[in-house]
Amino acid sequence: MKTAMNALALTDVTKTFTMHLQGGLRLPVLRNVTFDAAPGQCVVLTGPSGAGKSSVLKLIYGNYRCDEGSILVSAGGSTVDIAAAAPREILSVRQRALGYVTQFLRAVPRVSALDIVAEPLMSKGVARDEATSRAAAMLKRFNVPERLWSLPPSTFSGGEQQRINLARGLLPEHPILLLDEPTASLDANNRAVVVDIIRERKQQGAAIVAIVHDDAVREQIADAAVDVTHFATAA
Amino acid sequence: MSGIDKENDLPLLIAEGLTKHYGRQLGCRDASFELYEGEVMAVVGESGSGKTTLLQMLSTQIEPSAGRVLYRMRDGAVQDLWTMSEPARRFLLRTDWGYVHQDPQMGLRMGVSAGGNVGERLMAVGNRHYGNIRATAADWLGRVEIPQNRIDDTPRTYSGGMRQRLQIARNLVTAPRLIFMDEPTGGLDVSVQARLLDLLRRIVSEMRIAAIVVTHDLAVARLLSNRIMVMKGGEVIEAGLTDQVLDDPHQPYTQLLVSSILPA
């Protein structure tokens, strides 16, 4: 029972973009992507820029629609095929089980940094007080100055926004984590914080799929590597 | 299988093949979907795409030429909205539903105080105690960030943004399960829009209200909704998760819409 043991299993996932505004130009990006990740395992996606690494993460998160193949996500005793699930099933899986962390914060007007970090916990059903105190601890860990917590991050520096986004994405203890260059442009201290948190999550049994360009970080977290160029289509 | 309890998890509203012809002119063809509690669905498309016609059929303002709308009442009974009696339908509209118009003057009584505008909906569901009604109205005005000292003023003296927030308070005070919004931020300044959107997003998610939001603004759809339907020429051409449809649009028209946004 391969799928019962894996937290995540991709089988023959294929993705082509059709650009109707460019006369129906077809851009095949991925073909027959097949790999899996077990609980506690960190799989790093490798390959040059443009190979489709981020697209793989977006397909798993359900942000891109899968043309062919299956993406089985197992959490809390249930398995959902993201490639075939209804919108509300995908939302439910994201809320319960699937974390997706990029470098970029999509700031919501007027919402404070602390609330932005606490929000995913609250939508998982954690009470406001507890969510807020855990969010505060996470912001402290990422060295975000306390005077910024009550402010909306739209005016923060790029580095501060990135750390707030990492705090938000890494706080809920999701069984599956998708990380798209989480340490890019971080200083050494904060890079070490990210590595520590990733190790903690692995110990807690999270399955992680990550894109990491920093060789030192990759060596510290990776258990397996998947070279995405194997699945790239000769466009 | 999916972690969603399918036995007890039934749609709040089901639209089946909703079609409207205006004479020989098509308004909307064969729109079908299911909406669950707590889901926010955006309906986007250009002027004349049929999105307002669809909203009006769903909210029983115009009768469909074909198709039906099923609604699960609070007692669990599923009713066909067009076979209900007119009084029953009106009662539903006043209590279990809200309707936020683009123009707040359409949804407010302009000659009645702000407190009265909110209190009126409470009286419609049977509240009679003046003190309670006034206290609840004051609480709701606070939640939509209208200063307490403006409770006795009429909306005529309010700015556009305040009027829109008052309309939202009037709609939400009865804790509806479903709210329809027609371009809720249309005609407001950008800074006022941001405040209103943040407020709507927070209240709708806290109260777990289902909402159908008609907008031509994809940024509004992205901020407020989980699901989206794209309409063109009276038909639904694409539907799915909001981020999915906006980040990976399949239809030529949706790709055009998404690529037409000017970067901020």
> Would you state the pLDDT for residue A4?
47
Q: Tens digits of per-residue pLDDT, A183-234?
A: 988 899 999 999 999 999 999 999 999 999 999 999 999 999 999 998 887 5
* pLDDT for residue A232: 81
| Inter-chain touch B4–A96, beta carbons under 8 Å | no
pLDDT of residue B48: 87
As a whole number, mean pLDDT of residues B210-214 equals: 96
Q: Please indicate if any CB of chain A lies within 8 Å of the CB of B39.
A: yes
Q: Can you tell me the mean pLDDT for B119-134?
A: 89
Chain A: closest CA distance from residue B105 (Å): 27
Who has greater pLDDT, A44 or A109?
Answer: A44
**What is residue B159's predicted lDDT score, i.e. its pLDDT?**
93
CA distance A4 to A15: 25
Band (pLDDT 50/70/90 cuts) for residue A76 is confident
Q: Distance of alpha carbon A143 from its chain centroid, rounded?
A: 22
The reply to whether A110 touches chain B by the CB within 8 Å rule is yes
Q: Please judge whether B1 and A79 are an interchain contact, meaning their C-beta atoms are less than 8 angstroms apart.
A: yes
C-alpha distances in angstroms, A214 versus A15, A64, A195, A218? 27, 26, 11, 6
Question: With an 8 Å Cβ cutoff, is B252 touching chain A?
Answer: yes
| pLDDT band, residue B2 (cuts 50/70/90) | very low
Report the complex ipTM. 0.89
B97 vs B141: CA distance, rounded Å = 19
Q: Rounded to an integer, what distance in angstroms lies between the CA atom of residue A120 and that of residue B63?
A: 41
Residue recorded with tokens 């397909």: A59
Rounded average pLDDT over B176-204: 86
Mutate to test the interface with B, among A13, A58, A88 (most CBs of B within 10 A): A88
CA distance A160 to A168: 12
CB contact under 8 A, B2 and A80: yes
What angle (nearest 5°) sits at the alpha carbon of residue A117, between those of residues A203 and A81? 60
Structure-model confidence comparison of residues B126 and B187, the more confident one: B126
Report chain B residues whose CB lies below 8 A from the CB of A104: none
Instruction: Identify the pLDDT of residue A98.
Output: 94
- Give the DSSP H/E element, type plus range, for residue A186: none
Whether chain B has a CB inside 8 Å of the CB on A89: the answer is yes
**Tens of pLDDT, residues B145-185:** 899 999 999 999 999 999 999 999 999 999 999 999 999 98
B126 has pLDDT over 80: yes
